Amino acid sequence: MTDPFFLPEDDNAASAIAAIAEELDLFDDWMDRYQHIIDLGRKLPPFPAAWQDEAHRVLGCQSQVWLQPELRDGLLYFAGSSDAAIVSGLVAMLLRVYSGRPPAEILATDPVFLKELGLIEALSSNRGNGVASMARKIQDYAAAVARG
């Protein structure tokens, strides 16, 4: 079975955010950016069907979004998925920033980067709220692990 958890390519959350910003800057218009975001979602590791349930669901999202954390050697990894193409891409962006990081780094990385990259404004308000809910859930998991 393929590991469903997102394994980081970037050294840390800050470099992941910088890389995402650079990638988005390559595109002149939002239609091309949307396509890039959708492509990112298609590259997510397969999310187990058994986890596509209410226990894993992120509330506050217009589409279905599921998230599963796992602590490995002091690092918090996440698996995530959505039933909507654009939202899967946003899940991929969040996982790129947060998955495979120490809880302290996750807590220190404010999800305001989504707003700074213009992603929240470019989305419908419901999708923007959903992405914010997902980021909060990731932060909540990290806080719980940090508390022990």
Task: Report in angstroms the alpha-carbon separations of 17 from 21, 74, 112.
Answer: 6, 22, 11
pLDDT of the residue at 62: 77
**Stretch 51-70: mean pLDDT, rounded?**
92
Q: Is 61 among the residues known to form the active site?
A: yes
Please, what is the angle between helix 85-98 and helix 125-147, to 10°?
Answer: 30
User: Distance between CA atoms of 113 and 73, rounded to whole angstroms?
Assistant: 27
Cα 134 to Cα 11, 25, 26, 92, distances in angstroms = 22, 24, 26, 11
**Domain architecture of the chain: domains with CATH:** 13-147 (3.90.1010.10)
What's the mean pLDDT when you consider all of the chain?
91
Supply the pLDDT for residue 16: 97
Q: Give the active site residue among 61, 95, 119, 142.
A: 61
Task: Say yes or no to pLDDT of 123 above 80.
Answer: no
**For residue 61, pLDDT beyond 80:** no
Higher pLDDT, 73 or 61: 73
